[in-house]
């Protein structure tokens, strides 16, 4: 049984209200109907209930609150950026235009084909406009000689949240230490994960100013997330 999220999933406030019983009879019926079918939301409810009843076992690591405060302070002082999801809904945002990432196993190196190099396979622009659905749009980054193919998929995981997922589509020659990161415009890495053949790397971008960074053997390539 895999835990998958759906558009109809209950949001955090709804789940919190359900846990506290602060819901109407009609809401309870709706919520429980969803929970009986959705393993993801059920897991959140069950895990939350257990946690709320338990006494903490461990102390918060030294310096963690200071590190969080420092990050939050930086965000508070920045100008608020319109949410990415609102741009998605307006249909004015796209993942990228044309981009290819080529991994040559013989050379053990990546190269990036930018828009304009028509000798390579062209990729259609990825538009995320359209009706609500789980997978709004997706494309793959094909590579010659079936060396490696990376896929980028955009999921709508909740009414106000999208998720970018990057995975190896044909991972037979997937190199080790292929690091994929989500970065802020200024280059600060928000999340960084190593791509593995049987896994994907997921991010939840929140603004228009992020880019995906693909890093391998000291070479770094960026896939910008930008407006049309």
Partner 1 sequence: MNERKALEEEAESIIKSAQQGKEEAWRELVGRYTKVIWKATESFRFPIQEREDIAQDVFTKLLLHIKEYDPSRSAFTTYLTVITKRVCIDKLRAFKKSPELALPPEILEILPRQQPEDGYTEEEKIELFNRLLDTASTAQEKLVIKMFYLEQLSYEEIADITKQNFDRIKNILHRFRLRLKKDLPEAV
Which residues is 135 bridged to in the sheet?
A: 155
- Identity of the residue, 52 or 124, whose beta carbon is nearer to partner 1 in the bound complex: 52
Contact 9, 40 (CB under 8 A): yes
Return d(Cα 85, Cα 147) in angstroms, integer: 34
Closest contact distance (angstroms) between CB of 103 and partner 1 is 22
Q: Which two tokens stand for residue 52?
A: 């709320």
Least separation, in Å, of the C-beta of 188 and partner 1?
12
Shortest separation between residue 207's beta carbon and partner 1, angstroms: 9
* Closest separation in Å from C-beta 147 to partner 1: 23
Which residues sit opposite 83 in a β-bridge? none
Would you say 57 or 177 has its CB closer to partner 1? 57
Nearest by Cα to 15 from 38, 4, 2: 38
**Cα distance from N-terminal residue to C-terminal residue, the chain:** 39
By CB under 8 A, name the binding residues for partner 1: 1-3, 5, 12-13, 15-22, 28, 32-33, 35-37, 39-40, 42-54, 56-58, 60-61, 64-65, 67-69, 71-73, 75-77, 83, 160, 165, 191, 193, 198-202, 204, 206
113 sits in which H/E element: strand 109-113
Q: C-beta of 11: minimal distance to partner 1 in Å?
A: 8
Q: Of 16 and 121, which CB lies nearer to partner 1 in the complex structure?
A: 16
At 135 the three-state DSSP class reads strand
Nearer to partner 1, 45 or 174 (CB): 45
Toward partner 1, which CB reaches closer, 1 or 26? Answer: 1
**Shortest distance in whole angstroms from residue 136 CB to partner 1:** 18
- CB closer to partner 1, 31 vs 113: 31
Coil/strand/helix, residue 184: strand
Q: How far is CA 151 from the centre of its chain?
A: 13
CA Rg, the chain, in Å?
21
């Amino acid at each position: 049984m895999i835990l998958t999220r759906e558009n109809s999933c209950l949001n955090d406030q709804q789940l919190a209200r359900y846990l506290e019983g602060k819901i109407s009879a009609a809401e309870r019926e709706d919520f429980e109907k969803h929970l009986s079918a959705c393993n993801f939301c059920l897991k959140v409810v069950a895990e939350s209930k257990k946690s709320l009843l338990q006494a903490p076992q461990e102390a918060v690591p030294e310096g963690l609150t200071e590190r969080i405060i420092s990050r939050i302070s930086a965000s508070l002082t920045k100008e608020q950026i319109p949410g990415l999801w609102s741009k998605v809904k307006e249909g004015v945002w796209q993942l990228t235009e044309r981009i290819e990432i080529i991994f040559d196993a013989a050379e053990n190196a990546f190269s990036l084909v930018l828009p304009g190099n028509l000798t390579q396979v062209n990729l259609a622009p990825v538009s995320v406009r359209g009706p609500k659905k789980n997978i709004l749009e997706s494309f793959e980054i094909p590579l010659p000689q079936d060396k490696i193919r990376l896929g980028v998929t955009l999921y709508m995981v909740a009414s106000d949240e999208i998720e970018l997922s990057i995975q190896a589509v044909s991972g037979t020659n997937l190199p080790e230490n292929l690091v994929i990161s989500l970065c802020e415009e200024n280059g600060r890495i928000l999340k960084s994960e190593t791509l593995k053949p049987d896994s994907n790397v997921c991010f939840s971008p929140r603004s228009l100013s992020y880019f995906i960074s693909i890093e391998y053997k000291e070479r770094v390539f960026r896939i910008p997330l930008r407006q049309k």
